Chains A and B, each alone.
Chain A
């Protein structure tokens, strides 16, 4: 050990007393600086004008609210291209953005194991502040709990987020229609491979960085090009395969994609070959899939290609009447197969 007590998280940091206050003021307030949080009340009082309309929404147009939550338990905490903090903000922002919502406010709850290094926590919190700034959202409420030491060096973060959806935007995984074009925002598999390259026991060096990023500005650009986007989904755990299957199932349509049109970075492809993974099953944290009527597709793709995180946007296939609930892939050599969801964790294979 040999570390000064003040350099690590203690049980007292979670119990509301002096150490808790120090943590809030010196760490959280510093990186999540905004007037709502600075009030340090038991609850955030949200700055809604008298009529309840969210700031920035056009007056006299009905809005719907979107509200989501997610918890982040990724290991390792730091990986090429990102960390659990950036993930915790981006993931929840993206869940809102996938509804066509403009995200406004996040909460952040921390569960930290006693003995966790304070400077590591500072790095994570600074990263959350930066991600929040990039997304243009505020973290307005939070909580910290410290649990007894268990040797796992654990940090878990929960973020909840709220945003508003403008009138005329109806985005749902159940809205795909035959004839829609399926658009992918960029190369798949980066996040999963980046994280795996840092896991103990699988020592390989891949020049691959996680794509973890908040996509709300990309979605805003897409909605600027067309209000008639039917589906938006981010292919996180379970990869593109899972997302496409979910859409096919919920919309009761068939989806047909072409392997040759799906962008995958060389290094990701190579790592997948070595480990026996299918890039379609590997997690992403900064990509989205959109189903868009044929007439709108080109305009949407072009708007994406001009936006940050959408440069690699491309049409990978289309929605068909059937087979209902199934995703068909035309392979690189012109054959056909189905794309199914991966089963649980991806395990490296030798066979």
Chain B
């Protein structure tokens, strides 16, 4: 539900992270995604990361959509 925006983690300090989206920087909490690391993309909702973006799945989805025949 609702707005969650993918941001790139640039730095982590404790449970806080600095994420960047399109050049804009925000400080958010990683309390809900303790496994997140610098270089990960996370889904940000109300100042919290609610998931780490699965980059392999992201690429797979685009690949499927680009394939010649969509069944």
Establish whether residues B46 and A274, one from each chain, have CB atoms under 8 Å apart when the complex forms: no
Interface membership of B14, Cβ < 8 A:
no
Tell me the A249-277 residues at the B interface (CB within 8 Å).
266-267, 269-271, 273-274, 276
Asked whether, in the complex, the Cβ of B3 is within 8 Å of the Cβ of A276, the reply is: yes
Q: A204-B25, A205-B25, A206-B23 are in contact. Are A273 and B2 (CB under 8 A)?
A: no
In contact, B44 and A274 (Cβ under 8 angstroms): yes
Query: C-beta contact mask, B20-40 vs A, less than 8 Å → 1, else 0?
Result: 011111110000000000000
Interface size on A, residues (CB 8 A): 17
| Contact A206:B24 (CB < 8 A) given known A274-B44, A350-B45, A350-B46 | yes
Rounded to whole Å, the gap between the CB of A333 and the closest CB of chain B is: 13
Interface positions of A from 307 to 351, Cβ below 8 Å from B: 349-351
A274/B23 in contact, CB under 8 A? no
Tally of contact residues, B, Cβ under 8 A: 14
Given the contacts A350-B45, A350-B46, A273 and B23 also touching, CB distance less than 8 Å: no
Q: Which residue of chain A is the closest to B22 with respect to CB atoms? A: A270
A207 within 8 A of B: yes
Contact partner, B24, options A205, A349, A351, Cβ 8 Å: A205
Q: Pick the contact of B5 from A208, A266, A267, A273 — CB < 8 Å?
A: A273
C-alpha spacing A113/B2, complex, angstroms: 42
* Complex CA–CA separation, A133 to B31 (angstroms): 53
- Using known A-B contacts A350-B2, A351-B1, determine if residue A271 contacts B24 with beta carbons closer than 8 Å: yes
B25→A351 contact, CB < 8 A: no
| Chain A proximity of B36: nearest CB distance (Å) | 18
CA distance A269 to B24 in the complex (A): 10
Q: Please name all residues of chain A whose beta carbon is closer than 8 Å to the beta carbon of B24 when the two chains form the complex.
A: 204-208, 267, 270-271, 274
Report the minimum CB–CB distance from A314 to chain B (whole Å). 20
User: Which residues of the other chain, B, contact A266 by a CB distance below 8 angstroms?
Assistant: 22-23
Residues of A within 8 A of B46 (CB): 350
Are B3 and A351 closer than 8 Å at their CB atoms?
Answer: yes
Task: Tell me, in angstroms, the Cα distance from A206 to B46 when the chains sit together.
Answer: 18
A203 within 8 A of B: yes
Which B residues lie within 8 Å of A271 (CB)? Answer: 22, 24
Question: In the complex the two chains form, what is the Cα distance from A273 to B45 in whole Å?
Answer: 11
The answer to whether A273 and B21 touch (CB under 8 A), given A349-B3, A350-B2, is yes
Q: Apart from A267-B23, A273-B21, list 18 A-B contacts with CB within 8 A.
A: A203-B26, A205-B25, A206-B24, A207-B23, A207-B24, A208-B24, A266-B23, A270-B24, A271-B24, A273-B5, A273-B22, A274-B5, A274-B24, A276-B3, A349-B3, A350-B2, A351-B2, A351-B3
